[in-house]
Structure 1
Amino acid sequence: MMKIRIIVFLLALSVVSCTSSKSIVRTSGKHKEVQKKQPVVQTNKTNTNSKTPSIVSLEATSNVKTYAEEIQLYIENFKEIAKNNMKSHGIPASITLAQGILESGAGKGKLAQSANNHFGIKCHTGWQGDSVRHDDDAEQECFRKYEHPAESYRDHSLFLTSRPRYSNLFKLDRGDYESWAKGLKAAGYATDVKYPDKLIGLIERFELYKYDNEVLSRNFMPTKKEVVLAQGSDYYTIQQGDTLYSLSKRFNLTVEDLKKLNNMSDNAISIGQQIKIK
Structure 2
Amino acid sequence: MDREAREVYLVVVQVKDMLGLNGGYSATTTVTISLMDVNDNGPTFQHNLYTFAISESAPAGTTVGRIMADDSDVGLNAKMNYSLEDLEESSTFTIQTDPDTQEGIVILDQPLDFESKRRYVIAVEAINENIDTRFLSAYEFQDRTTLKITVTNVDEPPIFSETSYSWKVLESAQIGTQVGTIYARDTDTTNNPIRYSISKSSDTRQIFRIDPSNGTVYVANRLDRETAAWYNLTVNAREISEHILVINMHQPLTQNF
TM above 0.5: no
Bigger Rg, structure 1 or 2:
2
Q: What is the TM-score with the length of structure 2 in the denominator?
A: 0.17
Query: Larger % of helix: which?
Result: 1
Query: Larger % of strand: which?
Result: 2
Q: What is the TM-score with the length of structure 1 in the denominator?
A: 0.16
